[in-house]
Structure 1
Amino acid sequence: MPLPIVAIIGRPNVGKSTVVNRLSALQDAIVFNEPGVTRDRTYKPAFWRDREFQVVDTGGLVFDDDTEFLPFIREQAMAALAESSAAIFVVDGMMGLMPSDEEIATWLRQQSVPVLLAVNKCESVEQGAALAADFWSLGLGEPFPISGIHGNGTGELLDELITHLPPANEIEESDEIKVAIAGRPNVGKSSLLNAFVGETRSIVSPISGTTRDAIDMVVQHGDQTYRLIDTAGIRKKKQVEYGPEFFGINRAFKAINRADVVLLVIDALDGVTEQDQKLAGRVADEGRGCVIVVNKWDAVEKDSYTIYDHEKLVRDRLHFTEWADIIFISAKTGQRVEKILDMVNIAAEQQKRRVTTSVINEVLEEAVGWHSPPTTRQGRQGKIYYGTQVSSRPPAIALFVNDPALFNDNYRRYIEGQFRKSLGFTGTPIRLFWRGKKTREVERVTANRATRVKEF
């Protein structure tokens, strides 16, 4: 069975995200002193003693208000509870027992999930028991006084929690592919995640900035497991004020960094914007696999040439990611969505691919035979002695040459193009390191100095 899930439930501003950060190994849930910062349900890995599990952060529950996002937040919290092995109900010890706490407790008592009561903001151990005493009346068993900030009392809470989780030997590990869904605001990232999952996993709204955190969801397709990560829309830095959106964009960049493959979502109606170009450049710089997903294709008026014209426009604007596959989809109707994961598989496989030194040198020999390295006015010509792959994710190849300065950008692009033509590497960037005699001599001297210092 997969990792068990523990839902964190409570009204707004009781410190749920702070508690999630305390329990989670990632500790990156957005914490900001403003109600409604957390909207979707966000999953974070956690462990205690011999148990691994996932904590799912949820938005603040309000039952008697249907304004803005509150109905969607309720829907997300209920969905989180339905898939959980246990729940932690977080209340505010400093504020005391509130009528909304009683409403939530009444609802939780009607569920079939074991519920633990965590009285947060009990920073003082001496006052913790007194602050927690008021919450016995909720009828959810013993209230545990804790501090999400300092960690006081969380050990006792977790000791009780793991009694409700399955034994460690029943949990199966999976070799999952991490897929970040990134793009500008309102290009359909959350709709795409929901299309993959087949349920309302992320709140979809025409309001820009609806998604604020990086939202993980594990899905199975055939024999392969995927961790899909929906991210906040990334706008230009100068347009972003300090606050929830600022933190959300930072989480989006972190999601790109921890992903194996990035789905770069582009609005078919807007075309490729300057911000899309910057995001594509960031994905390439981070060395992540990429699939370019052109969404809202159903809204485009088409003839038999439209898709080819659009693909050429996308390729021209994103020429520095020409190695990435492009797919035209509609997250709203589901058109071609199922084909995206096949492209993800290819990109993930190519990103971790290793090629033998003999094959690399065969490609180099053929490439140099067709197009010799450039010669300077002084008659100096570049020479490539040999190449070898030094790492993967992304594939990196070191080329040993007489002098890297003798190889201009055009020739370097030519060599990369020959590697792609002969070896593929579809869906992933590749790194070429041009290493000359001087470079190797500096590295040798540096290594010798380091050895002498260590011996001394």
Structure 2
Amino acid sequence: MALVAIVGRPNVGKSTLFNRLTEERRAIVDDQPGVTRDRLFGTVEWTGRTFDLVDTGGLVPRSAERFDAAIREQVMLTLEEADVILFVVDTLTGISDLDAEVAGLLRRAKQPVIVVANKADNTARALDASEFWGLGFEQMFPLSAVNGTGTGDFLDAVVAALPEEPEREEEPDVPRIAFLGRPNVGKSSLANKLLGRTRSIVTEVAGTTRDAVDARLRIGEGEDAREVVLVDTAGLRKKARVRENVEFYSTLRTERALQSCDVAVVLIDGERGLESQDARVLREAEAMKKGMVIVVNKWDLVEKETNTARDVDRMIREKMGLIDFVPIVFASALTGQRAEKVLEVALKVFDERRKRVQTAKLNEVVEAAVRRQPPPSLNGQYIKIKYASQVRDEPPVFAFFCNQPQGVKESYRRYLENRLREAFGFEGVPLTLSFKRK
């Protein structure tokens, strides 16, 4: 999917524009510069075309002396990532020195650059926006991100500027597996180890303007042979110096890889254990209903005793809390130890994610679970689950038909999910349980 990036100096309304276009309230909006702390990534649909949108408002450095350098670096990194760039400026303040400097960098871009003259809340301000033609770009749109004035024509221009979507054959049987994790955890090493051992890259598919490449390989032989696509999660070609920029763009890469994969293989450092960033990626994968595998990498460097692997496994699961259904593989990308095992487990999770449970067997399990532990009553009325059915796979969704769906609490949902996992597996696969009135 094409990527559109919002850039510009702080306090011009980038986060407000992001909220307007994605129709979300994920951004923190305030009059103080630099209040957008987290990366912001969303999806926009307009006139039948869908594209990813990223707000770079979080890239304000923590120290004042690095401010201009960080903005310049942010722009150059955005040029590496985006298909279309939205350069947001402020009609109230006019062209600032930093606007002019950013414009100078963006004029080198091969991608289309659209100037967004924000805060044009009335006719007079929209006329004032003509000043921004002086920045030297072919397209400029006065608009108000707050009230939406002018966004229709602007979005028409954005869609017209998007690259044509590549025609790719739908291959539902070919798993797309992404290796994710913090920088220097061994993602590329593990991918290269697998590709080097198999020596059977079938095709290389060019991606966006940054020349992302998904590697396709064949594993196994004869009738048991399978093809797999390793989703590109390559690091930045340009070396980012500002820490906030490194974190921002590595998170952006992770989110886009997650979006396009079937199974997320999350690598963690065996010497450091599960950290907050790792847990965040797992939560994102669960929210997107992707298959999940955890790889404890660099296992060759860990000092071991008899039960070290068991103890580390237990600690990881305790930290993950409710996401305790994910398989864990101990491996070393450097030595190749259990590298093939990682792919084997990822393929098993892919197959589990596509599993269909027969309705009769499903209801046998549900009826036994309800007899063993009936759902709690609601306002003195018993909740009766009549029957259940799997209504979709990839990812699996189960519908439970009952008389009081609003009375089924999260704890009982979790109880039923655990019974389904005990009976049917679904290792590494998030399940969705939906309760409907019958």
Normalization by structure 2: what TM-score?
0.59
Q: 1:150 matched to which residue of 2?
A: 147
Q: 1:423 matched to which residue of 2?
A: 424
Correspondence 1:108-147 to 2 at 5 A: 108-130=106-128, 132-141=129-138, 143-147=140-144
The equivalent position to 1:227 in structure 2, one of 253, 259, 278, is 259
Q: Is the 8 A contact 1:347 1:426 kept in 2?
A: yes
Distance in 1 (CA, whole Å) between partners of 2:139 and 2:277 is 52
Cα distance change on mapping 1:28 and 1:122 into 2, 3 Å: same
Q: Is the 8 A contact 1:59 1:73 kept in 2?
A: no
Taking only aligned residues, the RMSD between alpha carbons, in angstroms, comes to 5.8
Distance in 2 (CA, whole Å) between partners of 1:116 and 1:260 is 34
Q: 1:21 matched to which residue of 2?
A: 19
Distance in 1 (CA, whole Å) between partners of 2:182 and 2:425 is 28
Give the aligned length: 365
Q: 1:84 matched to which residue of 2?
A: 82
Q: Is the 8 A contact 1:39 1:73 kept in 2?
A: no
Q: Deviations over 1:102-157 (max 9, x none)?
A: 11111222222222221111112332212x13223222245321111111122232
Q: Is the 8 A contact 2:39 2:252 kept in 1?
A: yes
Larger Rg: 1
Q: Deviations over 1:240-286 (max 9, x none)?
A: xxxxxxxxxxxxxxxxxxx9878788775576799999999999999
Offset, 1:31: 3.2
Offset, 1:425: 1.9
Offset, 1:312: 4.6
Distance in 1 (CA, whole Å) between partners of 2:362 and 2:84 is 53
Correspondence 1:207-356 to 2 at 5 A: 215=252, 217=254, 226-227=258-259, 290-292=292-294, 294=296, 300-302=302-304, 306-314=308-316, 323-328=325-330, 343=345, 346-347=348-349, 349-351=351-353, 353-356=355-358
Amino acid at match of 2:425: G
The equivalent position to 1:163 in structure 2, one of 154, 160, 165, is 160
Cα distance change on mapping 1:62 and 1:39 into 2, 3 Å: closer
Q: Is the 8 A contact 1:42 1:216 kept in 2?
A: no
The 10-residue stretch of structure 1 (137-146 or 65-74) with the greater mean CA deviation from structure 2: 65-74
Q: 2:9 matched to which residue of 1?
A: 11
Amino acid at match of 2:135: L
Correspondence 1:186-201 to 2 at 5 A: 189=182, 197-200=233-236
Amino acid at match of 2:426: F
Q: 1:439 matched to which residue of 2?
A: none
Task: Please list every run of 5 or more consecutive structure 1 residues that lacks an aligned counterpart in the other structure.
Answer: 182-187, 221-225, 229-258, 375-384, 401-408, 436-442, 448-456
Amino acid at match of 2:125: Q
SS at 2:149 equivalent:
coil
Task: Please list every run of 5 or more consecutive structure 2 residues that lacks an aligned counterpart in the other structure.
Answer: 189-231, 374-384, 403-410
Cα distance change on mapping 1:395 and 1:191 into 2, 3 Å: farther
Distance in 1 (CA, whole Å) between partners of 2:31 and 2:335 is 38
Offset, 1:72: 6.0
SS at 1:199 equivalent:
coil
Offset, 1:97: 1.3
The equivalent position to 1:101 in structure 2, one of 99, 109, 118, is 99
Distance in 2 (CA, whole Å) between partners of 1:414 and 1:151 is 45
SS at 2:259 equivalent:
strand
Cα distance change on mapping 1:307 and 1:15 into 2, 3 Å: same
SS at 2:10 equivalent:
coil
Q: Is the 8 A contact 1:93 1:121 kept in 2?
A: yes
SS at 1:197 equivalent:
coil
Q: Is the 8 A contact 2:390 2:396 kept in 1?
A: no
Offset, 1:14: 1.3
Amino acid at match of 2:161: H
Q: Is the 8 A contact 2:39 2:251 kept in 1?
A: no
- Percent identity of paired positions between Structure 1 and Structure 2: 34
Q: Is the 8 A contact 2:268 2:296 kept in 1?
A: yes
